[in-house]
Amino acid sequence: MSDAPKSHGRLSIRPTLKPRDLMEEPRLVKGAWVAKVITLFPDAFPGTLGLSLTGKALDLGLWRLEAIDLRDFGQGKHRNVDDTPAGGGAGMVLRPDVVDAAFCQARIGTPVDRARWPVVYLSPRGRPFDQATARRFAGAEGLTLLCGRFEGVDQRVLDHHQVEEVSLGDFVLTGGEIAAQAILDATVRLLPGVLGNAASTEEESFSDGLLEHPQYTRPALWEGREIPAVLQSGNHAEIAKWRRAQAEALTRDRRPDLWEKRRG
Ligand code: SAH
């Protein structure tokens, strides 16, 4: 018996162990958006960004991810990256010289203008990340992100490199890696070509200062609960009106801060 695959009409077709995509050099779309992430845990990347739409876009070369290992810039035999806090207290602080060396590596080939290429430190002290910031980042040519660990980073290196501090929210994580992935996910999905249906970023939550209306899908009747009749009416004007009213009611109820901002 031969090992040759059974012919399905064309003798030349053979299954291969590797999908075709993995055998080719990653295609890079010219001018593709670039994320450079400085981290002590480069293995955490791409993480969830390698899945689904962001992962597909990465494979297609619509954006590129470069993880820079902070440990490579560590001092001495043990590649130390941190030291005790000046003035005392618990924990360790990332050293300015070590972080500086990583920033210098990251800035190779990037514009100095921070509007064209923001340099960000993920930090609970930063400005809260929001959809407008995601849009601003997506409009840049790329982004450098510094993930902190321990008690944080020596302030001088943040000042020296004109680093913008961005927070994922009012809580404390053990490191910046999850925050970096969240910010990259929100940003990359806004890049042209990443979402199949461009309209979906225009209608979703925050795009017009409102939370999104509730969504439904089949079956029409589930556990005694029906899809609201208007959504099954086929009347597009009525559907739009209903969705708008729902979005407004939800926003007023759950996020009075957003509601006030819209009116103010
Ligand atoms: N001592 C710091 C917290 C350090 S937490 C303070 O009180 O402000 C360790 C690292 O986790 C930080 O350097 C930062 O990079 C990351 N991190 C923690 N919480 C974060 C948040 N809400 N948003 C973004 N990054 C955060």
Question: How far apart are alpha carbons 133 and 168 in whole angstroms?
Answer: 11
Does ligand 1 come within 6 angstroms of the Cβ of 152?
A: yes
Ligand 1 mean position, distance from CA 2 (Å): 61
Query: Of all atoms in ligand 1, which is nearest to the CA of residue 153?
Result: 13
Nearest to 39 by CA among 7, 72, 75: 72
Per-residue pLDDT of the chain (264 residues; tens, 9 = 90+): 444 444 443 344 445 555 544 444 455 677 899 999 999 999 999 999 999 999 999 999 999 999 999 999 999 999 999 999 999 999 999 999 999 999 999 999 999 999 999 999 999 999 999 999 999 999 999 999 999 999 999 999 999 999 999 999 999 999 999 999 999 999 999 999 999 876 677 778 898 899 999 999 999 999 999 999 999 999 999 999 999 999 999 999 999 999 999 877
Closest ligand 1 atom, residue 125 Cα: 8
Half-sphere exposure of 164 (CA within 13 A, CB side): 17
Give, using CA atoms, the residue closest to atom 12 of ligand 1: 148
Say if ligand 1 is within 6 A of residue 158 CB: no
Q: Does the beta carbon of 90 sit less than 6 angstroms from any atom of ligand 1?
A: no
Tell me the domains of the chain and their CATH numbers.
Answer: 22-188 (3.40.1280.10), 204-263 (1.10.1270.20)
Ligand 1 neighbour 53 (Cβ under 6 A): no
Query: Which pTM value belongs to this model?
Result: 0.89
Interatomic CA distance for residues 181 and 159, integer angstroms: 24
Nearest atom within ligand 1 for CA of residue 146: 15
In angstroms, the Cα distances linking 62 to 16, 112, 142, 187, 188 are 26, 23, 12, 12, 9
